[in-house]
Structure 1
C-alpha cells in the first residue's frame, strides 16, 4: 500500500501546472471513523488510505473528487442506506435497474458518491455488497443501467486517471468506460477475456489511446470478426473510426454483421468529420452504394441512403 501511495503522490507532482491538480487536506482518522460509525459501515481500505494520506476531494475526473459532505448527495434517487448491499457484481452486464413493479428507478444502496459528472451522472464507490471497493457509473432517475469501472479499487482507478492524463489520451470523456494497460495488454484483453465488459473496456480505450501502432486497425478488424457480443462490436467500430482513414477504410467489414444496429453504426462511422462537414471518401461511397442494393433491413437502408444523399459528399 505504501508503494502505491508514493507512486500516486509522485504522479500528482509530475502533472503540468495547467492541470491545477490540487487536493483538499487529508481527513483525520476520527473524521473517517465518525462517518463510518454514523452509517454502520467500514469504508474500503484503499479509499481510506487515499483520503487520510493523499487528499480529500479536489482534483480528479470531470468536476473532481467530492468532499465528505457530498458523499451522500441530497437527491433522494442517488443512494439508499450505506449498510444495505449494492446488488450488482463487477463484470456482469446489468439488463434492468428498476423497482419490482417496474416503476420508478430505485436509489443506489451501499454506495457513496465520489464524483459528480454533471446533470444526473455520478461515479459511486461501493461500500457494501459484492462489488465492495469498486467504482460504478450511474445515471440517476433513469433507465440507464449502472456499469462498473474495470479498476480493482479506488487507488487503481485514481492512478489510471493520472496515467491517462500524463500519457496524453486524446479525450478523457470516455474514461469511465476504459481500462488500464499498454497496447499489447489491451489487445490481449480484447481478444481473450471471457468477460464482455472487459473486452468492451479494452475497445473503448483504443478510441483515445495515444500513439497506437500502425497495425492496430488490422488487429481491431480481426477482433471484430470473432467478437460474439454486439455491444462490444459497436465499440470496436468506434475504435476503428478513431484510427483515421486507415480505420474507416476497414469499417465495411461490419456491413455483413447479423445485427442491423451494428451495420447502421458502421455506415455512419465511415463519414469523416472535416472542417467542411461530414464527408465520405469516393471508395466508401461506392461501397455503401453497392451494399444498398443487397441490404434488406429498412433502417439500415434508410441510414445508407441519407449518407449518400448528403450534398457534396
Structure 2
C-alpha cells in the first residue's frame, strides 16, 4: 500500500493526512454513509443545506481526502455508502458544487491522470473533465440528454492540448444549444482558447435571451480582438437594465464571477488563484485546516500544525454553525 506519492495537484496525501484532513468532524464519521453517489447532480446550495445539528450529518462523512488542490479544493474517496469506491471533487465553500467523477474506481481515476498527463492534456483541477478523448467528448456534447453533462463535455474540450477545427465546429453548434448552460459553456471555452471559428456564433449570441450567455459572447469577441465587441445594436440591449446593452451584461457577468472567486479565504487572495500563491498550500507537509462553514465560506486556512519547516501556527477555526 502506498503512503502518498505522485498524483494530481500537490500529489496523493499521506495516509495520516488523508484522515487528518477531515478528522475534526464528529466521532465515527467514516462509518456514516456518504451522500455522494454516481449520476447525481448537486446544486450549489446543496452543501449548506446538508448540515445537521452540531454539524451532523457532515457533507464529508464517509469519505477520505486523497488530493488537496489548494485552498478549499479537495478530491475525496467515498468509503461508506452506496457510492463506495467512487471519487468526488469538492470545495469546502460549497461552490462549485460537488461533482462525482465518472471514473468507476480509484485505479481508473489514477490511470486516467497518467494517460492525460502523458498526452499533454491540461490536468489542473484534474477530474473536472469527462473521461475520454475528443471524439468521446464530442459525442456527449452532441447527443447526451442531460444539459449539465453536455455543458461539462463542452468545458472538457478546454482540457485538451488544443482545440481542433472539428472541436471548434462542435463548439459553434453548442453555442446554439437549446439550454443556456451549454451555450454558456461552449462560448466560455471558445474565448479561453481563442477559437476564431466560433466568432459568427458569438455574434449571434449577442442577442441571446440569457444575460450570462451574452456576457460570454462579448468575451469571445474581445479575446479575438474584435473592435466592435460592444456594438450589438438595439436588439441586444433589450432587458439590459442599468449599464446598457451587452456591455452591461458582460460587466455584471464578470462581477458575479469575481464575487464567486472571492468566496474563498480572503487573506491569501481569491478563489483558485490561492492554489498557486499560498505558501502553505505549496507544502504538502502543512495542510490547510478544513474550516468549512455552513454560511458558504471557509475559515482562515493557515497550516494545521507546525511542520518541520517551522511554519507558524495558523488562524484556522473549527467548523461553526455560522
Query: TM class by shorter-chain length?
Result: 0.5 to 0.7
Please, which of 177, 200, 218 is the counterpart of residue 169 of structure 2? 218
Between Structure 1 and Structure 2, which shows a larger proportion of helix residues?
A: 1
Q: Could you list the runs of 4 or more consecutive aligned residues of structure 1 that deviate by over 4 angstroms after TM superposition?
A: 74-80, 99-105, 141-144, 305-308
Structure of larger gyration radius: 1
Q: Which residue of 1 aligns with 2:123?
A: 172
Distance of aligned partners of 1:101 and 1:186 in 2 relative to their CA distance in 1, 3 Å threshold: closer
Q: 1:65-95 CA distances to partner (integer Å, 9 max, x unpaired)?
A: 0121112134556787122111132232212
Q: Which residue of 1 aligns with 2:233?
A: 290
SS at match of 2:103: coil
Q: Which residue of 2 aligns with 1:254?
A: 205
Q: Which residue of 2 aligns with 1:132?
A: 84
Q: 1:240-284 CA distances to partner (integer Å, 9 max, x unpaired)?
A: 224424145132232233321222222134322xxxxxx7323x5
Distance of aligned partners of 1:242 and 1:261 in 2 relative to their CA distance in 1, 3 Å threshold: closer
Shift of residue 165, structure 1, vs aligned partner: 1.0
Residues 212, 250 of structure 2: 8 Å contact kept? no
Residues 82, 127 of structure 1: 8 Å contact kept? yes
Matching of residues 195-214 of structure 1 within 5 Å? 195-214=146-165
Greater relative contact order: 1 or 2 (C-alpha under 8 angstroms, separation 6 or more)? 2
Distance of aligned partners of 1:209 and 1:269 in 2 relative to their CA distance in 1, 3 Å threshold: same
Q: Residues of 1 paired with 2:108 and 2:76: CA distance?
A: 15
Q: Residues of 2 paired with 1:267 and 1:257: CA distance?
A: 11
Distance of aligned partners of 1:152 and 1:58 in 2 relative to their CA distance in 1, 3 Å threshold: same
Q: Which moved more, 1:205-214 or 1:114-123?
A: 205-214
Matching of residues 7-46 of structure 1 within 5 Å? 27=1
Q: Which residue of 1 aligns with 2:69?
A: 117
Shift of residue 99, structure 1, vs aligned partner: 4.5
Please, which of 34, 49, 52 is the counterpart of residue 86 of structure 1? 34
Q: Residues of 1 paired with 2:222 and 2:7: CA distance?
A: 34
Q: Which residue of 2 aligns with 1:61?
A: 8
Distance of aligned partners of 1:104 and 1:91 in 2 relative to their CA distance in 1, 3 Å threshold: farther
Q: Residues of 1 paired with 2:5 and 2:113: CA distance?
A: 13
Distance of aligned partners of 1:197 and 1:65 in 2 relative to their CA distance in 1, 3 Å threshold: farther
Residues 263, 300 of structure 1: 8 Å contact kept? no
Give the number of equivalent residue pairs.
245
Residues 194, 220 of structure 2: 8 Å contact kept? no
Normalising by structure 1, we get a TM-score of 0.67
Please, which of 186, 209, 213 is the counterpart of residue 236 of structure 1? 186
Matching of residues 62-77 of structure 1 within 5 Å? 62-75=9-22
Distance of aligned partners of 1:289 and 1:97 in 2 relative to their CA distance in 1, 3 Å threshold: same
* Unaligned 5+ runs, structure 1: 1-26, 28-54, 273-278, 309-313
Over aligned residues, Cα RMSD in angstroms? 3.1
